[in-house]
């Protein structure tokens, strides 16, 4: 979730560094900093909090013909979010930025402390620059390699030094890093967005690749120099901008219609489901499926269980990756191991994928970021094609995950629901009159003692997801619950200050769910029912289309729960795109 940028041979490195870090803000951070090499010195500026604090400080610095630099946004893992702990970390003549975790940093730090080397931060990162300067004897690349040989863990590193000021040293293992270029300048970033508009082609570094750049890229793997494999960068930067919406999250809710069309293009056909990325033989000898994911992606996986078991008659177990990882699970070779991840960098999910591969299972990733660690690790990948998702609260990625799982279920079960899938896409076109109603309605839901989102069958995972959306951006407590479970304890909470959002499908267990709502209303809970059929006793009601397929209802209710969470959060005055304490991609456990 930290962000990294770097550049060399550019006449305004500060501009790229600051703009690049702004493109990475969505990943969540609590401090930031840049190190700039100019004719005079190596200048380091850092700030806690939002990037504008860093910008204010940078404006006061005089640079003399700056020509390179590195930058970083930090999401604290070792040490509190303070200026001292912010990156870049410096030595006497060098500076470093790093994403990931140096697992043996304490051992290295103790060794250097015994040598009289001082440390000023609580971070693991500082050992990189201190070790580099400890090993420096006139050859910077040699010293850099010695550092790489000694540190364990995950890292994306950029290091600059006054000893060889016209170079940037880099290394990648376990955390994303891209080196990109145009005809005369070289850039680094931890994801595509900062590079768009600057570079035109990129090499996505693989684990174990390292090297340095001057006016060329010198790339190594093991001890041999290799040629970068350049790929074109996405050209349209605007598609990552807000496009007139108040927040990226709002833009991304509205673009779900287009994104789902993209996601199903060439896959949902009149003749059934096609995946260019897959061949049926890949699924030979598969008798069951494990899905491993975190957060919203886990909720999508739960929907997948219902769909795959129903449409393909294959047993599915859905696991929270952080639990599965340490449970020493029984993994058999007739199991297909599926990981779902928007970012493709979630540490827990990635580690379960590695565990499954090590056990000899076939692995499939549903992921939104090509070239991400998870994509590169999995045997097969189905890309979500959701485009850059900048809002920390996932929306369009969730929509494409569920849609991809629906298509996968039909692919495995040879089931053709071509029209139903297109109907489900249609209902994700936001009805602005419904949005306006939700904006008005949201004022009633700001001060209760919490929310229950309830549903049955596929609407239970949607209830979980609706609750997560609300709590992660409004900071109001919310729980998703199986509607049939409320009477087994939670109904004790029912009173006018307990808000219940009921997902009432007409096509699945309508009467059962309706009676669950009645139980709550009878105890004076305040209920908002989302359904195609009005029910008298509910306090608030949002009507959805009268359709015959539960998945069409699912996608329309999804839009409503996303908008509800956003409008409540906006009324609370929260930063919808970068909620407190959260990061877009949790690359640490
Ligand atoms: C969802 O709104 C959150 N941003 C979070 O739960 C997220 O889904 C989770 O961290 C998994 O991320 P991934 O999909 O990138 O693996």
Q: In the predicted model, is pLDDT for residue 135 greater than 90?
A: yes
255 backbone dihedrals φ, ψ, rounded to 5°? -90, 5
Give 296 Cα–ligand 1 centroid separation in angstroms: 5
Give 580 Cα–ligand 1 centroid separation in angstroms: 15
User: From edge to edge, which strands make up the β-sheet containing 209-213?
Assistant: 89-90, 94-102, 153-161, 168-173, 209-213, 217-221, 224-226
- Closest by CA to 97, choosing from 139, 121, 69, is 69
pTM value?
0.68
The domain of 300 spans 274-415
Q: Are 66 and 36 in contact (CB under 8 A)?
A: yes
- Inside any domain, residue 370: yes
- Inside any domain, residue 545: yes
Nearest-atom number in ligand 1 for the CA of 293 is 16
Nearest-atom number in ligand 1 for the CA of 393 is 2
Q: In the predicted model, is pLDDT for residue 362 greater than 80?
A: yes
Name residue 480's beta-bridge partners.
Answer: 453
Give 392 Cα–ligand 1 centroid separation in angstroms: 8
Nearest CA to ligand 1 atom 10: 295
- Inside any domain, residue 586: no
User: Which one-letter DSSP state was computed for residue 163?
Assistant: T
d(CA 283, CA 274): 14
Q: Are 512 and 456 in contact (CB under 8 A)?
A: yes
- Site to probe by mutation for ligand 1, drawn from 324, 339, 342, 472 as the one with most ligand atoms within 8 Å of Cβ, is 342
Q: Are 21 and 27 in contact (CB under 8 A)?
A: no
Q: Are 51 and 25 in contact (CB under 8 A)?
A: yes
Nearest-atom number in ligand 1 for the CA of 586 is 10
Nearest-atom number in ligand 1 for the CA of 346 is 16
DSSP 47-97: EESSHHHHHHHHHT---SS--EEEEEEE--SSS-S-TTTSSPEE-SSEEEE
- Inside any domain, residue 266: no
Q: What is the pLDDT of residues 486-542, one digit of tens each?
A: 999 999 999 999 999 999 999 999 999 999 999 999 999 999 999 999 999 899 999
Residues in Cβ contact with 381 at an 8 Å cutoff, skipping those fewer than 6 apart = 277, 364, 365, 366, 367, 370, 374, 375
Average pLDDT over residues 561-566: 98
Q: 105-114, 283-292, 572-581: which range is least confident on average?
A: 572-581
Give 27 Cα–ligand 1 centroid separation in angstroms: 11
Q: Report the CATH number at residue 189.
A: 3.60.20.10
Q: pLDDT class for 201, splitting at 50, 70, 90?
A: very high
Identify whether residues 86 and 182 lie together within a single domain: yes
Q: pLDDT class for 560, splitting at 50, 70, 90?
A: very high
Residues in Cβ contact with 216 at an 8 Å cutoff, skipping those fewer than 6 apart = none
- Inside any domain, residue 243: no
Give 297 Cα–ligand 1 centroid separation in angstroms: 6
What percentage of the chain exceeds 70 in pLDDT?
96
CA angle 463, 469, 475 (to 5 degrees): 120
- Closest by CA to 65, choosing from 129, 3, 137, 13, is 13
- Site to probe by mutation for ligand 1, drawn from 247, 293, 296, 369 as the one with most ligand atoms within 8 Å of Cβ, is 296
Structure-block tokens of residue 399 = 């929509």
User: Which one-letter DSSP state was computed for residue 196?
Assistant: B
3-state secondary structure of 540: strand
Active-site position among 145, 251, 469, 584: 584
- Report pLDDT for 587: 79
Identify whether residues 479 and 411 lie together within a single domain: no
Nearest CA to ligand 1 atom 6: 295
Peptide bond into 368 cis (omega under 30): no
3-state secondary structure of 507: coil
Q: Are 297 and 374 in contact (CB under 8 A)?
A: no
Identify whether residues 160 and 76 lie together within a single domain: yes
- Report pLDDT for 232: 85
Give 516 Cα–ligand 1 centroid separation in angstroms: 30
Nearest-atom number in ligand 1 for the CA of 582 is 4
- Report pLDDT for 415: 97
Q: pLDDT class for 580, splitting at 50, 70, 90?
A: confident
Active-site position among 2, 7, 294, 367: 2
Q: pLDDT class for 277, splitting at 50, 70, 90?
A: confident
Count of the separate structural domains present in the chain? 3
- Report pLDDT for 72: 97
Identify whether residues 397 and 445 lie together within a single domain: no
Q: Are 47 and 53 in contact (CB under 8 A)?
A: yes
Higher per-residue confidence, 521 vs 122: 521
Q: pLDDT class for 2, splitting at 50, 70, 90?
A: confident
- Name residues contacting ligand 1 (CB within 6 A): 294-297, 341-343, 346, 349, 392-394, 472, 585-586
DSSP 377-422: HSSEEEE-------SSS-SHHHHHHHHHHHHHHHHHTT---HHHHH
Nearest CA to ligand 1 atom 5: 295
- Closest by CA to 32, choosing from 5, 11, 61, is 5
d(CA 95, CA 7): 14
- Inside any domain, residue 291: yes
Identify whether residues 232 and 110 lie together within a single domain: yes
- Report pLDDT for 189: 95
Q: In the predicted model, is pLDDT for residue 416 greater than 80?
A: yes
- Report pLDDT for 29: 77
Q: 170-174, 190-194, 205-209: which range is least confident on average?
A: 190-194
Give 2 Cα–ligand 1 centroid separation in angstroms: 15
To the query of whether residue 584 is one of the catalytic residues in this protein, the response is yes
Give 332 Cα–ligand 1 centroid separation in angstroms: 27
Nearest-atom number in ligand 1 for the CA of 583 is 4
- Site to probe by mutation for ligand 1, drawn from 28, 302, 382, 394 as the one with most ligand atoms within 8 Å of Cβ, is 394
b/e map 186-199, b = 16+ CB within 10 Å: bbbbbbbbbbbebb
Q: What is the pLDDT of residues 225-259, one digit of tens each?
A: 999 999 888 776 555 456 568 899 999 999 899 88
Identify whether residues 308 and 450 lie together within a single domain: no
b/e map 40-61, b = 16+ CB within 10 Å: eebbbbbbbebbeebbeebeee
Q: Are 466 and 296 in contact (CB under 8 A)?
A: no
Q: Are 233 and 202 in contact (CB under 8 A)?
A: yes
Identify whether residues 90 and 211 lie together within a single domain: yes
Identify whether residues 187 and 279 lie together within a single domain: no
- Inside any domain, residue 540: yes
Q: State the chain's mean pLDDT as an integer.
A: 93
- Report pLDDT for 389: 87
Nearest CA to ligand 1 atom 7: 295
How many Å is the maximal CA-CA distance in the chain? 81
Chosen domain end from 391, 415, 439:
415
Identify whether residues 411 and 435 lie together within a single domain: no
Q: In the predicted model, is pLDDT for residue 584 greater than 90?
A: no
Identify whether residues 279 and 221 lie together within a single domain: no
Nearest CA to ligand 1 atom 4: 393
Q: What is the pLDDT of residues 438-486, one digit of tens each?
A: 999 999 999 878 999 999 999 999 999 999 999 999 999 999 999 999 9
Average pLDDT over residues 267-291: 92
3-state secondary structure of 499: strand
- Inside any domain, residue 253: no
Identify whether residues 512 and 483 lie together within a single domain: yes
Identify whether residues 496 and 460 lie together within a single domain: yes
To the query of whether residue 294 is one of the catalytic residues in this protein, the response is no
Q: Are 126 and 119 in contact (CB under 8 A)?
A: yes
- Report pLDDT for 240: 45
Average pLDDT over residues 179-204: 93
Q: Report the CATH number at residue 550.
A: 3.40.50.10490
Strand stretches in 321-378, DSSP E: 335-341, 362-367
């Amino acid at each position: 979730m930290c962000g990294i940028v770097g550049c060399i041979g550019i006449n305004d490195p500060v501009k790229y560094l600051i703009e690049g870090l702004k493109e990475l803000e969505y990943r969540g951070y609590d401090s930031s900093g840049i190190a700039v090499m100019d004719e005079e010195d190596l200048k380091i500026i850092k700030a806690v909090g939002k990037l504008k604090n860093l910008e204010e400080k940078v404006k006061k610095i005089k640079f003399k013909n700056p020509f390179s630099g590195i930058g970083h946004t930090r999401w604290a893992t070792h040490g509190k979010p303070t200026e001292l702990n912010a990156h870049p970390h410096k030595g006497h003549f060098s500076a470093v930025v790093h994403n990931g975790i140096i697992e043996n940093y304490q051992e290295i730090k103790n060794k250097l402390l015994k040598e009289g080397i001082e440390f000023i931060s609580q971070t693991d990162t500082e050992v990189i620059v201190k070790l580099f300067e400890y090993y420096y004897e006139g050859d910077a690349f040699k010293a850099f390699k010695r550092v790489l040989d000694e540190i364990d863990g995950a890292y994306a590193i950029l290091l600059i030094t006054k000893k060889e000021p016209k170079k940037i040293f880099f290394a990648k293992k376990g955390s994303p890093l891209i080196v990109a270029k145009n005809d005369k300048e070289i850039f680094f970033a931890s994801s595509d967005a900062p590079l768009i508009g600057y570079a035109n082609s990129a090499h996505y570094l693989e684990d174990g690749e390292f090297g340095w750049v001057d006016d060329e890229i010198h790339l190594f793997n093991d001890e041999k120099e290799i040629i970068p494999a350049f790929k074109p960068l996405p050209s349209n930067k605007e598609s990552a901008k807000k496009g007139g919406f108040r927040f990226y999250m709002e833009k991304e809710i509205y673009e779900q219609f287009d994104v789902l069309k993209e996601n199903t293009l060439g896959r949902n056909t009149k003749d059934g489901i096609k995946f260019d990325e897959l061949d049926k033989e890949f699924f030979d000898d598969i008798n069951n499926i494990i899905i491993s994911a975190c957060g919203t992606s886990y909720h999508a996986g739960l929907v997948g269980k219902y769909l795959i078991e129903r449409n393909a008659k294959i047993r599915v177990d859905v696991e929270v990756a952080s639990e599965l990882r340490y449970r020493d699970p029984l993994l058999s070779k007739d199991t297909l191991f599926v990981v779902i991840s928007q970012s493709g960098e979630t540490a827990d999910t990635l580690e379960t994928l590695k565990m499954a591969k090590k056990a000899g299972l076939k692995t499939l990733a549903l992921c939104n970021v090509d070239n991400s660690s998870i994509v590169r690790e999995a045997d097969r990948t189905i890309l979500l094609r959701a485009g850059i998702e900048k809002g920390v609260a996932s929306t369009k990625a969730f929509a494409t995950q569920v849609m991809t799982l629906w298509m996968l279920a039909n692919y495995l079960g040879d089931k053709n629901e071509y029209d139903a899938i297109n109907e489900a896409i249609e209902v994700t076109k936001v009805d602005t009159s419904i949005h306006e109603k939700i904006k008005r309605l949201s004022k009633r839901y700001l001060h209760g003692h919490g929310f229950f989102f309830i549903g049955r069958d596929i609407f239970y995972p949607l209830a979980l997801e609706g609750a997560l959306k609300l709590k992660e951006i409004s900071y109001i407590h919310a729980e998703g619950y199986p509607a049939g479970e409320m009477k087994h304890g939670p109904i004790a909470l029912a009173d006018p200050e307990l808000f219940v959002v009921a997902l009432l499908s007409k096509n699945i267990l309508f009467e059962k769910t309706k009676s669950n709502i009645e139980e709550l209303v009878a105890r004076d809970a305040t209920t908002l029912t989302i359904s195609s059929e009005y029910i008298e006793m509910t306090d608030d009601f949002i009507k959805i289309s009268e359709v015959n397929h539960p998945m069409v209802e699912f996608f329309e209710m999804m839009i409503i729960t996303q908008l509800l969470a956003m409008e409540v959060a906006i009324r609370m005055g929260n930063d919808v795109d970068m909620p407190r304490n959260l990061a877009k991609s949790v690359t640490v456990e």
